[in-house]
Amino acid sequence: MSTFTANTVLLDTLLDNVESGNIRLPDFQRGWVWDDERIKNLLVSISRGFPVGAVMTLEAGGDVRFQTRLIEGVASNGAGQEAQHYLLDGQQRLTSLYQALRYKGPVETHASPGGGWVEKKWYYIDIQRSLNPSVDRDDTIFSVPEDRVVKSNFGHVVELDLSSQDREFKNHMMPTEKVMDGMGWGFKYAQYWHTHGGHPHGDPFAFFTRFKDDVLDNFTLYQLPVINLGKSTPKEAVCTVFEKVNTGGVTLSVFELVTASFAAGDFRLRDDWESRKDRLHSKFRVLQGIGGDQFLQAVTLLATQARQRKAVSEEKPPNHVPGIGCKRTDILNLELSEYKEWADLVEEGFKDAARFLHSQFVFTEWDVPYNTQLVPLAALYVELGKELAPYNAHQRLNRWFWCGVFDEVYGRSNVYQVALDLPQVACYVRGGPEPTLVTQASFVPERLLTLTTRNSAAYKGLYALQMKSGASDWMTGAKLQHAILEDKNIDIHHIFPVAWCVDKDRKIPSSLYDSIINKTPIDATTNRLIGGRAPSRYLPRLRQDITPEKLRQVLKTHWLDPDSLEADKFGECFEKRGEEMLKLIGEVMGKTISGGSEVFRTALRDGGLPDLEADSL
């Protein structure tokens, strides 16, 4: 059912409501940032009766409650103690109009669009020029400095002095703050010219009346479209307004809206999250990609699960049992009391999730396959606690994690998957059936051919798995650990160097040499030693620092066949290494992945490798 009305409202009436405080800004809205040119253009449009866009408000008193503030320029002792309407869209326009047409002081404009230092200005309408049909209206409304004196030649020459009302009358310049009560100023204008005589256009009152009819009435009779959302408007709809409509203000995330909603209960969610974020991010680099939205998702998962359990314990009918979820609607319906109940536990859950990632050789935010997956992971640590300590329980959690990584499930419909994870994985860890994710997860050999950058979850997962399975440093033979990774600047590099692959006698395509099958963790020193050399040339140089047998062992920890690598047999090495990768992926997923050899041979054939290495296939 529609919960909004759309009407046209007199600008004067809107400004009355702004001035009384009946229309207020939600406190999360950013400040007023319009520059001089945009304010002038707005006034010009209204002086011509042109549309300037709609205003959107939300009726106060419903479920959506905000802390509010008055529009800039409105006196704090204004009438309305409680907002009747929240201004959702149109802040910049209404603020500009209020300051230019009602505010008793100069307008605090910004020096550039969207910000910059503040410049205080007064706005004027040139009466004579506005009635001249040969003058463009854009050239009739202008601003002057705070002292109302326009100077040139570095301030030595006064071009226009409007520092007193008589000077305004003499120069036929009407200040915009007098426009909405124009006739009062107009009578004084006419009296001035009757006293001083010699008005350039004859009768000064008749002249001003023409100005009123042609220009001022466009202000006093101007109507703006106002869309008013009723008090029954759900939080999700309000959030959508800020995401889709409020282009002149801020785009409001779910976190921002919950922050604003909690603020009405005197709870500063942003401050609370900032302190938690500092604790999480400073201690665990792997959590530095987690933001307030993800934290709220984890809290909401546990809160909705608690609601569901309560409804079941009270034997409510199925259609009255709420579901578990962390969709936007679920988060927006989170109660402050629920947040306070779960927030500390969720913070500890994220810490446990970080320790779990370390055990999987994921150490920084850049190595995390999916930040999305950390939401149910943290919630599961809250739910299960010490139940995850036994080996079998931990292995089930491992399997779920890696199935999610290599099936790349969190890249699509992840909110729905996350909602399934909490109850299903908890049940699985406790000895129940496999979760849907584990049952349906799969990995096809062809995917290895398309993994070329660390942007994908599977790419990051393979990198972590390789270290977890014992990959060693090429120079020392030591197993790659976090300290070594940090100290030796280890990164993913090509095994068969690009320069060697693209040589005119080989012309191995990038679809092969850029695949993760031809990449492995290598320290910066070794990578420089490799350069663009063939393996048959760089391996002997490596043996100067490590024994031949130890080097063979190191190469095997990188899933490399030492003999085919030494013989520069790209195709044979590529196929064997791809098979080893599939074997390890299958092990952590608890799946059998077949058909890899044929897939890799086909890819090599399509890349022209048989002509180069017929004996190796």
Model pLDDT for residues 397-420, shown as the tens digit of each residue: 999 999 999 999 997 658 899 999
Q: Is residue 233 part of a domain?
A: no
| pLDDT score recorded for residue 484 | 53
- Give this prediction's pTM: 0.71
Residue 246 has pLDDT above 90, yes or no: no
Residue 67 has pLDDT above 90, yes or no: no
Do 365 and 388 share a domain, yes or no? Answer: yes
Range of the domain at 453: 447-616
Do 28 and 175 share a domain, yes or no? Answer: yes
Do 204 and 273 share a domain, yes or no? Answer: no
The four Cα atoms 490, 495, 496, 497 give a dihedral, to 10 degrees, of 0
Do 360 and 503 share a domain, yes or no? Answer: no
Q: Is residue 248 part of a domain?
A: no
CB-CB contact of 429 with 388 (8 Å): yes
Q: What's the number of domains the chain is made of? A: 3
How sure is the predictor about 332, in pLDDT bands with cuts at 50, 70 and 90? confident
Do 168 and 270 share a domain, yes or no? Answer: no
Task: Give CA–CA dist 270/292, Å, rounded.
Answer: 8
Do 213 and 277 share a domain, yes or no? Answer: no
Q: Is residue 242 part of a domain?
A: no
| pLDDT score recorded for residue 1 | 44
Do 201 and 55 share a domain, yes or no? Answer: yes
393 phi/psi in degrees, rounded to 5:
-65, -45
How sure is the predictor about 142, in pLDDT bands with cuts at 50, 70 and 90? very high
Do 263 and 201 share a domain, yes or no? Answer: no
Residue 304 has pLDDT above 90, yes or no: yes
- Pairing type for strands 85-89 and 23-26 reads parallel
Do 454 and 360 share a domain, yes or no? Answer: no
Task: Give CA–CA dist 96/71, Å, rounded.
Answer: 10
| pLDDT score recorded for residue 249 | 47
Q: Is residue 332 part of a domain?
A: yes
Do 407 and 451 share a domain, yes or no? Answer: no
Do 190 and 279 share a domain, yes or no? Answer: no
Residue ending a domain, choose from 392, 417, 441: 441
Q: Is residue 240 part of a domain?
A: no
Task: Give CA–CA dist 517/208, Å, rounded.
Answer: 83
Do 516 and 565 share a domain, yes or no? Answer: yes
